[in-house]
Amino acid sequence: MILKALLFTFFLVFTGPGHAALPVAVDGIALPSLAPMLEKITPAVVNISTRGKVLVRSSLLSDPLFKRFFNIPDIQSEREIMSLGSGVIVDAANGYILTNNHVIEGAIEITVTLRDGREVTAEVLGRDPDTDIAVIKINAKHLKSISFADSSHLRVGDFVVAIGNPFGLGQTVTSGIISALGRSGLGIESYEDFIQTDASINVGNSGGALVNLRGELIGINTAIMGSSDTNQGSIGIGFAIPINMASDIMFQLIEHGEVKRGRLGVNAQDLTVELAKAFDIESTQGAVVTQIEQGSPAQKGGLKVGDVIIKANGRRVRSSVDMHNLVGLMRVGQHIQLEVIRGGRVMLVKVTIQQMETVTVDGSEFSFRLTGAKIGEIKEADIREGKVEYLQVMDVKPDSQAWNTGLRKDDIIYSINKQLVKTFEQAFAATKLSRSLLLNIQRGNQAMYILIK
């Protein structure tokens, strides 16, 4: 009863004379309702359906005994897939819609259904698999957009509303509270700083809106926690990308079509209570610099091994993941001011984020079957993961041999002909004198094999 009284009092204050009219009163007492706020913003939330193709292999071919007995080659085929999701109109004049990358990934046709029933074909302006953010564009009149809140001001316990298209039912609204902030280390995306909510989020809600009670966008609904059974409903643990993070990515995608990430050139680990005692410092939250790459922005800026980073651009650094997210979301050329503890004293270190330098070669240098693909050798010091080396498809010309074999931009190549490859030298050795290529790649969150004959 006490909770009901508090909620009732809250809604009376929220829906006072300065706001939209309340519903019909009961016994002279106005009923609290979110309907006036929702009527204003639901036209900005859209349903997204896509049609695409994926490479698949027969389930029988996954059985080695069956393949060996019948001497059947490992052949893949394309299968058409359909998917459903949601999106948020963020710029009515230009028709820009913010959604999740996984909603439109691999799509050859994207259809947006507006609140008024209109269906419009959309084009992709840019996408970023590392944060699961994408921006698409539609040409339509009389659109309505939604305004942004400042997600840095969110608090656990704030009331929220999730809007989306669960299970393809059509636009649906659920409500709850913010259960936690700054969720990371979940392994869902490369850069994680999730809002956790108990507002019901289900399959199809991805890309939809998480709003506050003023109808301001605070996050993009992205994932739920549960079993792999897609028919399972929400268990009260959903995640959304904070709008401050999503909007930073969005502006880069609109401007460049991709995110141009910079680098700091350091390895770091979390500051623990034991390490804090060893360094004789009071703070128990931060990132300890363990290695600095030669010639990196960190070295040029004066950062040193053993520095404990406690703040970055005024924001508290709780762990190495915080630094990983912060650097990964900054633009090349931007400055980052680090507050560090060195030798018991607090110091300021200013570092300029620099672009990652990637050496690329044409895929034809490995095999004529990869002609048309630009392969990059990535070597960098990653704050969270240490030294990182891998091969990535930087670009693929449409209708080239590489394109027709199934390679796509941003694919990460893990192995060639069952040999682990992280460098060009290893790739040359794996493809030498080989008549066919078996590639193990990662595309977004999906791992797959591609057989090229």
Catalytic residues: 102, 132, 206
Distance CA 265, CA 244 (A): 25
> Of 320, 350, 322, whose CA–CA distance to 336 is shortest?
350
Q: Which helix (H) or strand (E) holds 249?
A: helix 243-256
Torsion sign over Cα 23, 25, 29, 31: negative
The encoded tokens of residue 378 equal 């990535």
Q: Would you say 148 and 243 are in contact if contact means Cβ atoms under 8 Å apart? A: yes
Q: Would you say 126 and 258 are in contact if contact means Cβ atoms under 8 Å apart? A: yes
Strands 107-113 and 45-56: antiparallel
Cβ neighbour number for residue 213 with a 10 Å cutoff = 16
The encoded tokens of residue 419 equal 């040999």
What is residue 370's three-state secondary structure? helix
Buried b / exposed e over 27-44, threshold 16 CB at 10 Å, is: eeeeebebeebbeebbbb
Any bridge partners for residue 366, and if so which? none
Distance CA 176, CA 147 (A): 20
Instruction: Specify the DSSP class assigned to residue 141.
Output: S
Q: Would you say 261 and 328 are in contact if contact means Cβ atoms under 8 Å apart? A: yes
**Residue in this structure with the two tokens 């108990």, named with its chain if needed:** 198
